[in-house]
Structure 1
Amino acid sequence: MAKAESPQSPPSPSTLDELRSARLQKVTQLQAAGINPFAYRWDTTHHAADLQSKYADLPAGEEVEEQVAIAGRILARRVFGKLAFFNLQDETGTIQLYLDKKDIQAGMSDQPDAFTHLKQLTDVGDIIGVKGTLKRTDKGELSVKVQEYALLTKALLPLPDKWHGLTDVAKRYRQRYVDLIVNPPVRETFRKRALITSAIRRYFEERGFLEIETPVLQGEAGGAEARPFVTYHNTLDMPLYLRIATELHLKRLLVGGFEKVFEIGRIFRNEGVSTRHNPEFTSIEFYQAYADYHDFMALTEDLIASITQSVLGTTRITYQGTEIDLTPPWRRVTMHNLVQEHTGLDFTQFPDLDAAKAAVAELGITVADGCDSIGRLLNEVFEHRIETTLIQPTFLMDHPVEISPLSKPHRSKPGVVERFELFIAGRETANGFSELTDPLDQRDRFEAQAARKAAGDLEATGVDEDFLTALEYGMPPTCGEGIGIDRLIMLLTDSPSIRDVIAFPLLKPERSEPEPES
């Protein structure tokens, strides 16, 4: 009995060269036989999953006369003289090919060597198209009983056998195309990503929001505290930044008279790489005139619960072994109360910053340089001690004004703003607030940011004079929010790293040692 051929362990460079050379020789042989190893097209009638579903009840040994045409990649080959079995994979799944010499000779009578070519000149990894009927073998395997075939693409490199990231995670990300071929769950993650993103867009469009694109290249990076990428326009002779948020331009649209706008797009931040951070990522930002942060907390609950139910069929999910219930309503708690609950510290009672720092030091927390206010210190304690404990969905509310330069002051609490962050599975998933509409207050906050930037804070932004001019024309009461789509997809696909949900994450050149993820 012939041994089945299947993907092999990653070969050494010399072996890889030898395998590639052998496949190139087969290309030459195919061309000499008048066969194009890189075809132009193939008409398909079905996918593998369609056939598996349609004929799930076909008994062993039975055949059907329906003619089908499918195409895909060979994942395994077993050859037994005048009979061969291939496993074929397309976008939807796999199906067996039943290849009998007499059937192929009858179906391809104008090509007397067709079965020989199939046996000798095809390899695991090649893409082929086949036509034939359906049968379930005596062993119970649904198969296409092939009458005709065509080699559509000759693969010059072999597929690996073990490509599951256990020993070489970076290579999976670097050669995502191979990862997608041999790891069907990876394809399912990106299929779900597409469905989730589409469902988000549909959710907003059904509620009267318009998606309007805003510039990626900007003269002043703003809308967040983040270090930007810097570039240069030669013709205009001016430095530019890749956007760190879509906020300030979307809010200009509210000034212009639109009442509900959003944008799904790429954001670029020149920052560290970790399991939660990639230098470019996808977000949605959305804005609604005449709404406040209470309205958007309710909207966010409904949005995420609806999307989860639509794509996964439930609002109870498991993330990295922990059950999370996304069924609304979700907990709402102020940053001050949550910190006091976890540490016993009441940040409203400290007489000055030094006293607050002394109390925080007793907790064993090292305060970052530049922590120049009690409000920033409160946020430091939250990030150090509490953030990772928020597993079930929680709206953290009423942040210090010092860390919220674009938020409207709280209508009844001094020193804080009407802002919320959504935390799920110990990380921030969304950030929203009642938007600051007072251009004078906004100028003061921009200038405070600019002073920090001048003092060396790489994440602080400058003064966007055009945005201030827009505010002086008047922006209606507005609520805005941003949701990190990659982090949401991580949650809904049970993916431990952001790189698992970005098809082509940014990586160091292959010659460099990979950075450890933090």
Structure 2
Amino acid sequence: MKAQDWRPSASIENLRRRAQILAAIRDFFAVRDVLEVETPALSHRAVSDPFIDSIEAAYAPFPGGPVQPLYLQSSPEYAMKRLLAAGSGAIYQLGRAYRNGESGGRHNPEFTMLEWYRPDFDDAALMDEVEALVCAVLGLPPIRRVTYRALFQEQLGLDPLRAPLSQLKACARASLDVAMEDDDRDSWLNLLMSHLIEPALAGQGAVFVHEFPASQAALARLRPGADGTPVAARFELFIQGMELANGYHELTDAAEQAHRLEADQSSRASLGLPQRPLEERLVSALQQGLPDCAGVALGVDRLVMLALQTLSIRDVIAFPFDRA
């Protein structure tokens, strides 16, 4: 332990500015009559996404009692959708989320997430609202919107929906030192996105990327793209090349949701990752009836970083992981 580890890493002035931004976010939703909710940080279920590692906690009902594994939630999404199915109407949550193995200039294993859901919105309408919030906080001009497909064609000269795997591999190896031998298309698309396209976005201000490949739908529904090729009704917001928000026109089909959870579990098994209990209560909520809605998760710490024009998350949170 260092002698100065008792001190916050962020200045008190930065923490005051952070508090003002949090208050502005709450005001934004109060004006729009969106209900603030709270859901558990600890759950009996874990996220299924193979690229997100939940932090496991050991719970005992009494000292020395049998230990039961619980999971710190990486997102309040599943619980918030259960509220939507119960008739909550438009809701938001501003609170803590937890992800294992995430630490660095833009990451902390414990971070603040803003997540909200809007019944009767699609992804385009939700992009409008995300834009209204972000531009109000950061003072930005209107945000450019570009499809995932058009962005790949613009930046790399290839069609990510139709290009053969060999072309994706060749494009990556022409610019990157790649040892990967994976034959999964999305692995190569993700590599191209993270290592070539996102850095190129760093000089382009704020950009919404939407209509992701159908294989990257996550919890979004599918729809026909411009030429009829299925695409995911999903968007991500990047500002100076940093991902800030990820939104969906939400999947409401319970059978398809169950299929995707099982597919995630199979992917985890093939990657040698732990098999975690799936959130079948989400499937039950969809069977009950999730309203047609759109939802988005936004990284609040990154929003504050952008507002304060700093490159380190340590400048906007009081006690990062090494001082927690």
- TM-score computed with the length of structure 1 as normaliser: 0.57
Identity in percent:
36
Q: Does the 8 Å CA contact 1:261/1:286 hold for their aligned counterparts?
A: yes
Q: 1:424 aligns with which of 221, 239, 250?
A: 239
Q: 2:114 aligns with which of 284, 288, 292?
A: 284
Task: Give unmatched runs, 5+ long, in structure 2.
Answer: none
User: Where is the helix percentage greater, Structure 1 or Structure 2?
Assistant: 2
- Whichever residue aligns with residue 442 of structure 1, its letter is Q
Task: Give unmatched runs, 5+ long, in structure 1.
Answer: 1-169, 181-185, 309-314, 316-325, 510-518
CA apart distance, 1:404? 3.1
Distance change >3 Å, CA 376–CA 460, structure 1 → 2: farther
Rounded to whole Å, the distance in 2 between the matches of 1:410 and 1:462 is 30
Distance change >3 Å, CA 263–CA 350, structure 1 → 2: same
CA apart distance, 1:415? 4.2
Please list, as runs of the form range in 1=range in 2, the aligned pairs for 1:54-453 lying within 5 A after superposition. Answer: 174-176=5-7, 186-222=11-47, 225-235=51-61, 237-308=67-138, 315=139, 326-328=140-142, 330-351=143-164, 353-364=165-176, 366=178, 368=180, 371-391=182-202, 392-412=205-225, 413-453=228-268
Distance change >3 Å, CA 210–CA 403, structure 1 → 2: same
Rounded to whole Å, the distance in 2 between the matches of 1:419 and 1:348 is 15
Higher-RCO chain (CA-CA 8 Å, sequence separation at least 6): 2
Task: Let me know the Cα RMSD of the aligned residues.
Answer: 2.4
Rounded to whole Å, the distance in 2 between the matches of 1:380 and 1:451 is 21
Rounded to whole Å, the distance in 2 between the matches of 1:171 and 1:205 is 43
CA apart distance, 1:365? 5.5
Q: Does the 8 Å CA contact 1:210/1:261 hold for their aligned counterparts?
A: yes
Please list the CA deviations of residues 276-301 of structure 1 after superposition, one character each: whole Å capped at 9, or x if unmatched: 01010001100011111101111011
- TM-score computed with the length of structure 2 as normaliser: 0.89
Rounded to whole Å, the distance in 1 between the matches of 2:272 and 2:12 is 41
Q: Does the 8 Å CA contact 1:398/1:418 hold for their aligned counterparts?
A: yes
Q: Does the 8 Å CA contact 1:449/1:461 hold for their aligned counterparts?
A: no
Distance change >3 Å, CA 281–CA 171, structure 1 → 2: farther
- Higher Cα radius of gyration: 1
What is residue 4 of structure 1 aligned with on the other side? Answer: none
CA apart distance, 1:457? 5.3
Which stretch has the larger CA shift, 412-421 or 275-284? 412-421
Please list the CA deviations of residues 479-508 of structure 1 after superposition, one character each: whole Å capped at 9, or x if unmatched: 000110000000101222001111011107
CA apart distance, 1:377? 2.2
Rounded to whole Å, the distance in 2 between the matches of 1:422 and 1:349 is 24
Distance change >3 Å, CA 367–CA 457, structure 1 → 2: farther
Please list the CA deviations of residues 181-219 of structure 1 after superposition, one character each: whole Å capped at 9, or x if unmatched: xxxxx2211110000011101101210111111011111
CA apart distance, 1:416? 2.4
- Whichever residue aligns with residue 200 of structure 2, its letter is T
Distance change >3 Å, CA 365–CA 256, structure 1 → 2: farther
Q: Does the 8 Å CA contact 2:46/2:71 hold for their aligned counterparts?
A: yes
Please list the CA deviations of residues 106-127 of structure 1 after superposition, one character each: whole Å capped at 9, or x if unmatched: xxxxxxxxxxxxxxxxxxxxxx
Q: 1:483 aligns with which of 298, 313, 317?
A: 298
Rounded to whole Å, the distance in 2 between the matches of 1:502 and 1:482 is 19
Which stretch has the larger CA shift, 456-465 or 337-346? 456-465
SS in 1 for 2:271: coil
SS in 2 for 1:380: helix
Q: Does the 8 Å CA contact 2:46/2:278 hold for their aligned counterparts?
A: no
CA apart distance, 1:458? 4.2
SS in 2 for 1:396: strand
CA apart distance, 1:460? 8.6
Deviant stretches of 4+, over 4 Å:
457-462
Distance change >3 Å, CA 387–CA 396, structure 1 → 2: same
Please list the CA deviations of residues 261-290 of structure 1 after superposition, one character each: whole Å capped at 9, or x if unmatched: 011010111113110010100011000111
Aligned residues: 314
CA apart distance, 1:360? 3.2
What is residue 321 of structure 1 aligned with on the other side? Answer: none
